[in-house]
Structure 1
Amino acid sequence: MSPCEARSTICFRPSNASGRHPTLAVFENFIKGLLAETPATAINYLTTALKLQPTFDRARVALWAVYAEQSEHEKALAAVKPVPADSPWARRARFLAGLSAINLKKYDDAFATFKALADSQPTPAVLNNLGVAQLRRAVTSAQTPGTPATQFFTKAVEADPDDPDYVFNLGYASWQNHDMQAAIYWLRETVRRNPADGDAHFVLGAGLAATGKAAEAGREKELARRLSSMYAEWEKRTGAEPVPKGLERIKNEVELPHARPIEAKLRTTGQRDQEELAQFYLDRARRLYRQEHDRDATNELNHALYLSPYLADAHLLLGRIHLRNGRVRDASDAFKIALWSAETAETHAALGEAYRQANDLAAAREEAQRALTLDPNSKEARQLLARLDAR
């Protein structure tokens, strides 16, 4: 996202929420600030607008975005602090001030800011960030009083149960509290919502290891390593905690709820029914894929994977959809999960094609050879090698 896009996302609102009406000169500088191609130019125009009219709060919010992108968090905080409580932009300004306080490691200030926002309107994003502030206060001080972070994350999950970040934070905070059963439960729920969440797989593996489930732990960590080499580096750390600090996820924007009515129904089905229903959604997705209705096919696959997060054929098909639409990185992640779930020549060849499109030719050739080892007659693998040899 470009600086202009980020500023526009934050700054454009319906006219009835525009705050103090700007003069023409102020508005011209404001618009030039939004459209500026460099941060320095944007800051110059937005500062000029505020000098001409200090009560134009939309410009303060836009200025916060520019400073925050440059990691100048003190200046970002100073930009939104003057927004008065009676401004239509007051709540947004307080939310941004809380983000600045977190980035400045002023966790007590961040907690107080998000607590006040939650008391007036407990939205999921506010509750989540309140939990983040409390969790980091607990890490930096043994004397942190008050409600545990898990309680705020629980409320965020209750308000928006299908956002994987809220669910991950609850699982991760449970790990930090040494509540392994809760950590395992919520991290498994995280990968139901986002099977390619490497952090969730890694922390889940650590939780399983801590409860003596070595085989399951090894599988989860293996999948994390397939998704990113970073996790292998984490495991090499000596004398450190098995899970790094600071993995909790901050929400930078107020988001719409993610809940989908069908998933509420899916949660009530039994295990056998879930497996049959997952296969039903997968079959529908295959038909839609053949008809090139990729958006609808993806929706069906999301339902299947919610019911069966490690369904290999669903990940393989999802990877093919990503690849057909140019999302090579997403395709690679889906193929890696499919291979972890069930190794097949077809999936090795598909991953090889993703590597070829990413211009990682050595990895592409290696996957083609692995496919041929499993199935010497693999048509996809031979076609992939032919494309590689033609380069």
Structure 2
Amino acid sequence: MFKKIFYSFALISIAFFSIRAQTVNKNADTVMILPFENTSNKAEFNWVGESFADSLSDLLRVPSLNVVSNQERKIIQQRLRVPLTTLPSLATSLKLAREAKASLLIAGKYNIVPAQGDTAATVSVTAKIIRVNEGRFLSEEFPDGRRITRDIILNDALGNLQTVEGQVAYQILYQRDKALPFSQNQFIETANKVPARAFEAYIKGLLTPEAELQTRENYFKNALRIFAEEKDGAIYAGAALELGHFYLNQRKHNEAIEYFSRVPQESSQYAEAAFYTGLIQWQQNNYEQALAVLRPLAEDLKLTSVYNTIGAIAVQASLAEKKNKGKSDALLTEGLGFLKKAADSAPDELNARFNYGFALFLNNNFAEASQQLRPVLAINSRDGESFFLLAKALEKSGDDTAADFDNQARRFLSENNRYAKLESDWKNSRIDGINLRIVQPPRKDFVSVVLIKKQAMPMQTPQSETETLLAQARTFYKNGSDDEAMAVLRKVLVSEPMSAEAYLLLGNIHLRRGDLEQSVSSLKTALFWDSQLINAHIALGKIFLEKRDCLQAKNYSVSALTIDAENQDALGLQRQVERCSK
């Protein structure tokens, strides 16, 4: 099928898209990766195709490229009603990419030759890059005018699959930018962070239909076990999170909490795991435990559903607190704060607006409560509880229309004599029969959160360890102890090969030693991972000034001033460049 897709694609293409390294706009592209097609006719190897989509969506996440996550791609497929179990056609693939606002699409195929005797199983991979907006393959133009599309073709033992995925990621980035300052080995290292057998079990678990409960559960548990065995007891965050959701969907709350709680706090998936832990505690009426888990997440996640959930739980905790009025009032005030954020951030979200109106009502802010409840009824004109609360709020405010809304409340709360029960509670200064509205948010709400965290901390060691090492390296460099500084920086790059500051310090050390070529290489690598490092731009400008390459020096001078037009070192470089050009 893959061959047919590419063959037909070649026929409909008018011409290949031409690319030169010096004209690439590094900040413009967004890439989507499709599962690769299994051409071996062996269904037991279908997991490999999903593995490519999952791994590449992580490996390609570099500062110069936006990536549509694998989970986000699945959500888009479901929204467009494209089955996840079949490989979409080229036209459908382009439609998915455009829906995700992707400018690049990665598609591929693979063939598996099973193990025979002493010969290990092998995998052969072919991948292509498609320019979505132009509808053309990415190609390279040579000085003689020839245009060539280079397929990414790799062969290796199936046991080295993650190494192959690292090589594919490198080749994709290199085809896009020939000035890529990173080595292939660094991508291979990153790709192999998860032991191969654990990763295989995890991917197989993702591919197993939810109806096959036992099989799906076993795959994820195997992934956790293998990871722990090979990583000195460490937790495989992805597998733990999936098991938490697996048990939550079966309403096995204790088991769900057990696995959600295993997700390490430094993991980008921790916020999602903690949120659902809090949600379970709320469902079990453990309000204080729920709030203890959820409060720290509020500003971290900044999601309407999270603000609404925390606010509603705080208000419910206030209503449940019968002994300590001061504590009850404090919980109500806290709930009002969160619910206001929820209502303000999504005015059309009815549950958030209802909850905020209800909380204002409980706080005796009847005029403001009325303002929040009216829009709810404008959208849902059969909401008896909103009619009841609005009627009582207007009555307290002395509004003559209260009776009209009260009549509507009687009409829509007639079942099981609800109106009479609420009216009786109201006369006894209670509102026990109305619940706050919390809906379990879909997992897609957390996609953006996970992306932001992964971009901020790509495959990092804990921040404290990295910062400690970098601080040591800075001190050594400042004191002129270059050898000691370089030894520390090598430690940093072993655990965090994408540390821009480490490469900046290395570049400065090489520059101080007069090794200009090594300095240029390190400084360009620093800029690859953080293009806003103004000191790297300035240092490169000075190096090219020394080489009498005035054009390159001017380019780095301009880029430095773009970052900070008032930086004195950048202004000094600009003056030197002006003299160089004369």
TM-score, normalised to structure 1, is 0.53
Shift of 1:136: 2.1
Compare CA radii of gyration and give the structure with the larger one. 2
1:72 equivalent in structure 2: 252
1:351 equivalent in structure 2: none
Q: Deviations over 1:32-56 (max 9, x none)?
A: 5x51315455434433332233533
CA distance change for structure 1 residues 29 and 191 in 2, over 3 Å: closer, same or farther? same
1:87 equivalent in structure 2: 267
1:191 equivalent in structure 2: 377
1:103 aligns with 2:283: yes
Distance 2:344 2:423 in 1: 38
Distance 2:256 2:290 in 1: 14
Q: Deviations over 1:77-96 (max 9, x none)?
A: 11111111222212211222
Shift of 1:195: 3.4
Q: 1:1-391 maps to which residues of 2 (within 5 A)?
A: 15-16=57-58, 21=194, 23=197, 24-31=199-206, 34-37=208-211, 39=213, 42-53=216-227, 55-141=235-321, 142=324, 143-144=327-328, 145=330, 147-209=333-395, 211=397, 213=400, 214-225=402-413, 230=415, 232-236=417-421, 240=425, 241=430, 244-253=433-442
**Amino acid of the residue matched to residue 215 of structure 1?**
A
Distance 2:312 2:56 in 1: 31
Q: Deviations over 1:67-108 (max 9, x none)?
A: 223332222111111111222212211222221221232222
Asked whether the 8 Å contact 2:384–2:408 carries over to 1, the reply is: no
User: Alignment partner of 2:262: what SS?
Assistant: coil
Distance 1:206 1:28 in 2: 55
Distance 1:201 1:84 in 2: 45
CA distance change for structure 1 residues 14 and 77 in 2, over 3 Å: closer, same or farther? farther
Asked whether the 8 Å contact 1:125–1:255 carries over to 2, the reply is: no
CA distance change for structure 1 residues 59 and 223 in 2, over 3 Å: closer, same or farther? farther
1:380 equivalent in structure 2: none
CA distance change for structure 1 residues 201 and 52 in 2, over 3 Å: closer, same or farther? farther
CA distance change for structure 1 residues 137 and 251 in 2, over 3 Å: closer, same or farther? same
Deviates more, 1:90-99 or 1:136-145: 136-145
Distance 2:290 2:410 in 1: 37
Distance 1:243 1:188 in 2: 22
CA distance change for structure 1 residues 172 and 216 in 2, over 3 Å: closer, same or farther? same
Distance 1:223 1:238 in 2: 13
Distance 2:410 2:209 in 1: 45
Shift of 1:181: 2.1
Asked whether the 8 Å contact 2:360–2:368 carries over to 1, the reply is: yes
Distance 2:369 2:416 in 1: 19
Distance 1:224 1:41 in 2: 47
CA distance change for structure 1 residues 190 and 88 in 2, over 3 Å: closer, same or farther? same
Corresponding pairs, count: 241
Asked whether the 8 Å contact 2:376–2:386 carries over to 1, the reply is: yes
Shift of 1:170: 0.3
Asked whether the 8 Å contact 1:224–1:231 carries over to 2, the reply is: no
Shift of 1:234: 4.7
Shift of 1:28: 4.8
2:115 equivalent in structure 1: none
**Amino acid of the residue matched to residue 441 of structure 2?**
N
**Amino acid of the residue matched to residue 244 of structure 1?**
G
Q: Deviations over 1:139-161 (max 9, x none)?
A: 22232446431121111111112
Shift of 1:242: 5.3
**Amino acid of the residue matched to residue 220 of structure 1?**
Q
User: Alignment partner of 1:82: what SS?
Assistant: coil
CA distance change for structure 1 residues 122 and 64 in 2, over 3 Å: closer, same or farther? same
2:473 equivalent in structure 1: none
Distance 1:198 1:40 in 2: 43
CA distance change for structure 1 residues 104 and 181 in 2, over 3 Å: closer, same or farther? same
CA-atom RMSD in angstroms: 3.3
User: Alignment partner of 2:358: what SS?
Assistant: helix
1:305 equivalent in structure 2: none
CA distance change for structure 1 residues 237 and 224 in 2, over 3 Å: closer, same or farther? closer
Q: Deviations over 1:275-334 (max 9, x none)?
A: xxxxxxxxxxxxxxxxxxxxxxxxxxxxxxxxxxxxxxxxxxxxxxxxxxxxxxxxxxxx
Asked whether the 8 Å contact 2:201–2:223 carries over to 1, the reply is: yes
**Amino acid of the residue matched to residue 412 of structure 2?**
A
CA distance change for structure 1 residues 254 and 42 in 2, over 3 Å: closer, same or farther? closer
CA distance change for structure 1 residues 56 and 211 in 2, over 3 Å: closer, same or farther? same
Q: Deviations over 1:327-353 (max 9, x none)?
A: xxxxxxxxxxxxxxxxxxxxxxxxxxx
2:28 equivalent in structure 1: none
Structure 1: where are the runs of 5+ without partners? 1-11, 257-391
**Amino acid of the residue matched to residue 409 of structure 2?**
K
Distance 2:419 2:216 in 1: 39
CA distance change for structure 1 residues 148 and 28 in 2, over 3 Å: closer, same or farther? closer
Asked whether the 8 Å contact 2:264–2:270 carries over to 1, the reply is: yes
Shift of 1:223: 4.9
TM-score, normalised to structure 2, is 0.37
User: Alignment partner of 1:53: what SS?
Assistant: helix
Asked whether the 8 Å contact 1:125–1:254 carries over to 2, the reply is: no
Asked whether the 8 Å contact 2:410–2:419 carries over to 1, the reply is: no
Shift of 1:196: 4.4
**Amino acid of the residue matched to residue 47 of structure 1?**
K
Distance 1:71 1:165 in 2: 23
Deviates more, 1:131-140 or 1:231-240: 231-240
Asked whether the 8 Å contact 1:202–1:231 carries over to 2, the reply is: no
Distance 2:352 2:218 in 1: 37
Asked whether the 8 Å contact 2:366–2:396 carries over to 1, the reply is: yes
Asked whether the 8 Å contact 2:422–2:433 carries over to 1, the reply is: no
Shift of 1:14: 8.5
